[in-house]
Amino acid sequence: MVEREHVSGENHGGPSGIDRHRRYQAGGHGSHGARLLNGAALNAAMWIASSDDPKTVFNRAVEVYKRLANGLLQTGG
């Protein structure tokens, strides 16, 4: 059987979107910091790929990414 996403207005006996969101906020499905780092990595990859000087941009992106990760570690993000 193929699983599919819960569609608003349908009741399949599973958790509603609001319940899933509350569990996510409570830390039940990853952390906001992980999503932020994942998005930052994707942004950095696009920034590097579209650059005229990828080596320089890569070094800058790594520096910024490390600062972001260290900030999240310090704040418990």
Measured CA to CA, the distance from residue 27 to residue 53 in angstroms comes to 39
Structure tokens at 77: 């993000």
pLDDT given at position 11: 53
**Does residue 72 surpass a pLDDT of 90?**
no
Q: pTM of the prediction?
A: 0.55
How long, in residues, is the chain?
A: 77
Measured CA to CA, the distance from residue 58 to residue 44 in angstroms comes to 8
pLDDT given at position 23: 60
Measured CA to CA, the distance from residue 61 to residue 55 in angstroms comes to 10
**34 neighbors 41 (Cβ within 8 angstroms):** no
What tens digit of pLDDT does each residue of 2-52 get? 555 555 555 555 556 666 656 655 554 457 888 899 999 999 999 999 999
